[in-house]
Amino acid sequence: MKIIILGAGQVGTTLAENLASEQNDITVVDQSVASLEDLQERLDIRTVEGNAAHPDVLRRAGTDDADMLIAVTDSDETNMLACQIAYTLFQTPTKIARVRATEYLKEPRLFGPGALPVDMHISPEQLVTDYIRRLIEYPGALQVVDFADGKVRLVGVKAHFGGPLVSRQLKELPQHLPGVDARVAAIYRRGRPMIPEGDTVIESDDEVFFVAARDHIPKIIAELRRQDKPVKRIMLAGGGNIGLRLARGLEDKIQVKLIERSRDRARHLSGQLNHAIVLCGDAANEALLREENIEDIDVFCAVTNDDEANILSAMLAKRLGARKALCLINRVSYVDLVEGSSIDIAISPQQSTVSALLAHVRRGDVVKVHALRRGAAEAIEAVAHGDRHNSKVVGRRLDEIKLPPGTTIGAIVRGDEVIIAHHDTVIEAEDHVILFIVDKKHAREVEKLFQLGLRFL
């Protein structure tokens, strides 16, 4: 695909890296020469310097014959205007804009038919907020992603010594959980992927990814680690867009304390929230954390715009007794450095944004893509079409389908029914198939499986 990316910030750069590695024709537009030069040194892409909302700049970038325009500059207005120009002047087929301001997002008619020609608007802050809320819902999980409108979830869990299924074979799972169907999609042992078989033995500290119906997730997590207590108290560091959204979403269910450095912003937040306690101060101040009984906090979550401040405050909170520490990290290179040390989970907003966009880039009828393990692995939801004559998957048992190396089918959603995949499961037309791909370089091969043959055309 020919894709124009407007904005060479953190989101634009991560997008360019992911999409260029998949043999797409990428052009990045930005006003910063230094940012563009840095990208060109590392990636095989075109760059254009200039204002992303100027027609002549878009024309120089090749928007007149582009398949997709993704506007992720720091300005919502620039992003929306660029989509309007791409539609009016160049008839670009797909236009995606990053829109962060809630004042725009709460007016759905702005993006409806006959309004702004934005095919998809994404809010990284909302994506991260939803992601953190799922982690809080399942205290033992490292990663939780939704498929089929939330009917199915893929969850990553670190197996702990003492978990009922640890040191046992996977085929014993049904004996431990009668009536609960689940599929282990992949196991990572010391950072290396393993394709699970029935006689695979789960070891302590394995990272286990499993697929199950949403209601069964807590029971399966309990098989892999000691039962974590439900979250009752959370402390948020940072009262920006993410901090405010999280506090709003959680304050009616659990006790929320929010620490904000700016006095004016703290005063504004206190007027926006009903039950959350807003504190003005430095989240890396040991005296403040002790005063607010950090040792009783179930989850400390640092979501400021400063990576270093997030890391330091989360490490301090964990040392002072917080049960779990999460922090937002924009620099992907930092994530592997800190996760698994004193910080339990490092959250990358770029990966959440890339996941939301990848489904629009994929071929075949791929409706959802989630980047996993820093983008090295992927989970895909694809819809099967056609029949046995023109489809490589419809009408076939799973053990008849030639999957790429390191790929497993975890579940099938048929209407409202969730079917956990087994070797003799047969895929039918219009089934939603959830797959786990250990190495994302095989994603194209998976997409081809769900493309119809020429006889159908």
pLDDT in tens, 290-305: 999 999 999 999 999 8
Q: What's the pLDDT score for residue 457?
A: 38
What pTM was estimated for this model as a whole? 0.81
Residue 155's contacts (CB-CB under 8 Å, 6 or more residues apart) are 138, 141, 143, 144, 145, 209, 210, 212, 217, 220, 221
Q: Kindly state the percentage of the chain with pLDDT values over 90.
A: 27
Cα dihedral 156/158/162/165 (nearest 10): 40
The residue-averaged pLDDT of 184-191 equals 84
Between 78-87, 362-371, 408-417, the lowest mean confidence (pLDDT) is in 362-371
| pLDDT tier, 456 (very low <50, low <70, confident <90, very high otherwise) | very low
The residue-averaged pLDDT of 231-246 equals 90
| pLDDT tier, 339 (very low <50, low <70, confident <90, very high otherwise) | low
What is the per-residue pLDDT across 58-81, written as a single tens digit (0 to 9) for each? 999 999 999 899 999 989 999 999
Residue 3's contacts (CB-CB under 8 Å, 6 or more residues apart) are 19, 24, 25, 26, 27, 66, 67, 68, 69, 70, 361
Q: What's the pLDDT score for residue 362?
A: 66
Cα 425 from Cα 229, distance rounded (Å): 36
Residue 108's contacts (CB-CB under 8 Å, 6 or more residues apart) are none
The residue-averaged pLDDT of 233-239 equals 92
| pLDDT tier, 455 (very low <50, low <70, confident <90, very high otherwise) | very low
Q: What's the pLDDT score for residue 23?
A: 74
Cα 168 from Cα 86, distance rounded (Å): 57
Q: Kindly state the percentage of the chain with pLDDT values over 70.
A: 96
Amino acid at position 114, single letter: G
The residue-averaged pLDDT of 94-116 equals 83
Q: What's the pLDDT score for residue 266?
A: 93
Residue 56's contacts (CB-CB under 8 Å, 6 or more residues apart) are 50
| pLDDT tier, 227 (very low <50, low <70, confident <90, very high otherwise) | low
Q: What's the pLDDT score for residue 299?
A: 92
What is the per-residue pLDDT across 406-436, written as a single tens digit (0 to 9) for each? 888 888 998 888 888 888 889 988 889 998 8
The residue-averaged pLDDT of 169-187 equals 81
